[in-house]
Amino acid sequence: MEHIAHNTDGESYYDGNWVDNIRQGFGTQRYPSGNIYEGMWYKNRRHGLGTMHWFDRNQSYTGNWEDGVQVRINVIFVFISQTQR
């Protein structure tokens, strides 16, 4: 079932799927700070593929989440400069 739930502050909301009155499936959460999460939910937590936009920090993260926490794959890029002689 999908519907929008607004908080009493009028500035935050959740628009997405619900199962037994909890966020589950795809949905969008807007927080009072203006930050937005769009993606998968499981038992009221960000879980699965999703994107978080932190507008107050001008940052975003797209990737996997587990139990509300970002799951990052650490990749190190090394750039080697070659000079011609």
What tokens were used for 61? 């993260």
Report pTM: 0.75
Q: Which residues pair with 50 in a beta bridge?
A: 39, 63
**Ramachandran category for residue 69: left, alpha or beta (phi over 0 → left; psi -120 to 50 → alpha):** beta
Q: Identify the residue with better confidence: 56 or 83.
A: 56
Q: For 34-45, write each residue's pLDDT tens digit.
A: 999 999 999 999
Distances (CA, A) of 47 to 67, 76, 77: 6, 25, 27
Residues 6+ apart with CB under 8 A from 1: 17, 18, 19
Using one digit for the tens of pLDDT, what is the confidence trace for 26-78?
A: 999 999 889 999 999 999 999 999 999 988 888 888 889 999 998 876 444 44
